[in-house]
Amino acid sequence: MAGVNYDAQMPRDPFADDPNDPASFLEADEPMPPLSEDERASIRQDLELVAEFQRVLAPRGIQGIFFLCEDCDEFHYYDWDIMAANMSATLAGELSPVHEPSAQPDVSAYVPWDYALGYLDGLDAR
Ligand SMILES: [Zn+2]
């Protein structure tokens, strides 16, 4: 799937690599700055992908996505529902609870984002 501009590190702060992070200009208790249309479109696209991943992979025993968190230097595991909820929260202007991974995940039931993408691509190629 072209057009996904994140690698296996989803979900993440959309401004994580932005040197002009607008959050740095806000009061500490201000809500998250509004997302740009591009960011919203990107998150909506990812949200649709998560739904598709869940539809295709959940019946095969895959429960969600894992990624290496640069902040914690640990793997975080997210169920499909949690991923979708985080993205919906971001779209709603709420900070997503990125550091609240699933409790005691069965690590063999989670795949990297890129794996899920590749799996869908494989299905499309048939
Ligand atoms: Zn973390």
Residue 86 maps to a domain = yes
Distance of CA 26 to the CA centre of its chain: 24
C-alpha 61 to ligand 1 mean position (Å): 25
Contact 106, 69 (CB under 8 A): no
Ligand 1 centre distance from Cα of residue 34 (Å): 23
pLDDT, tens digit (0-9, with 9 covering 90-100), for 54-107: 999 999 999 999 999 888 898 889 999 989 998 999 898 887 665 665 567 899
Kindly report, residue by residue over 34-57, the tens digit of the pLDDT: 889 999 999 999 999 999 999 999
- Whether 63 is in a domain gets the answer yes
Burial class (CB in 10 A: 0-12, 13-18, 19+), 104: exposed
Q: Is 18 domain-assigned?
A: no
Given this model, what pLDDT does residue 4 score? 47
In a domain, 26, yes or no: no
CA distance 126 to 109: 25
- The residues facing 66 across adjacent strands are 77
d(CA 81, CA 51): 9
Spell out which residues have Cβ within 5 A of ligand 1, the ion. 69, 71-72, 99
Q: Is residue 108 part of a domain?
A: yes
Average pLDDT over residues 26-36: 66
Range of the domain at 54: 31-125
Q: Is residue 11 part of a domain?
A: no
Phi, psi of 71 (to 5 degrees): -70, -45
How far is ligand 1, taken at its centre, from the CA of residue 123, in Å? 31
pLDDT value of position 81:
92
> Ligand 1 centre from 124 Cα, in Å?
33
Rounded mean pLDDT of 17-29?
54
Count of the separate structural domains present in the chain: 1
pLDDT at 49: 97
In the reported structure, the alpha carbon of residue 73 is separated from the centroid of ligand 1 by a whole-number distance in angstroms of: 7
pLDDT confidence bin for 123, thresholds 50/70/90: confident
Has residue 117 been placed in a domain?
Answer: yes
* Overall average pLDDT of the 8-18 stretch: 59
**pLDDT at site 96:** 64
Query: Is residue 12 in a domain?
Result: no
Closest-CA residue to 49 (of 106, 2, 91): 2
pLDDT for residue 71: 87
Distance 14 CA to ligand 1 centre (A): 15
The DSSP result for 26-50, as a single string, is S-TTSPPPPPPHHHHHHHHHHHHHH
